[in-house]
Structure 1
């Protein structure tokens, strides 16, 4: 039960932060050195992709807790791995495209 509550809360937090970055274009929720070279015209697609990547990670955490709770196994961690790696790849490619590097 602890795993479910913990992962759902962390997943909801990640999803909320991702939504704020994407929909509200709150680029300041990302560390400043990650967006220092992002030009103003690219701010919208940059925040959209970074926010969606964060939401993907959050959904993976929620799925992990839910599947593990329902099945009493650790198969949910497959969702965590797939969603976390997918979100991370999206973030890396977005950083490289719009910021010219990871830092």
Structure 2
């Protein structure tokens, strides 16, 4: 469980920093240029993408933390993580569709 927690914490910190930079500092250079081609509202897009990545980081931190609870097995913790990542992917696809008119 400690290894799981450490890996998730490192990944979460990366997501939190990148999400914050995109969301608050408008660092769209952290997003692949292909995804920015047809974006007209760059401010709204960077806010939505940044918040999504930031929330994913929070999800990872929470998931790593609950992995220490005695009633949570590694399989359950991993399943919760996969569910959160699936929600993140769906949210990103919706954001991309909303702001650029295409999924990718």
Shorter-chain TM-score range: 0.7 to 0.9
2:94 alignment partner in structure 1: 93
TM-score for both structures, normalised by structure 1: 0.87
Pairing 1:1-103 to 2, within 5 Å after superposition: 1-39=2-40, 42-71=41-70, 73-74=73-74, 75-103=76-104
Structure 1 unmatched runs, 5+: none
**Cα shift at 1:61:** 1.5
How many correspondences in the alignment? 101
Cα-Cα RMSD: 1.5
The alpha carbon displacement at 1:102 in A equals: 2.5
Q: Give 5+ residue unaligned stretches, structure 2.
A: none
Q: The residue matched to 1:9 in structure 2 has which SS? A: helix
Native 8 Å contact 1:59 1:83 kept in 2: no
Shift of 1:3: 1.2
Cα deviation per residue 1:12-62 (whole Å; 9 max; x = unaligned)? 1111101111011111101000011112xx111101110111112212221
Instruction: Provide TM-score, normalisation by structure 2.
Output: 0.86
Distance 2:77 2:17 in 1: 21
The worse-fitting range, judged by mean Cα deviation, of 23-32 and 53-62 is 53-62
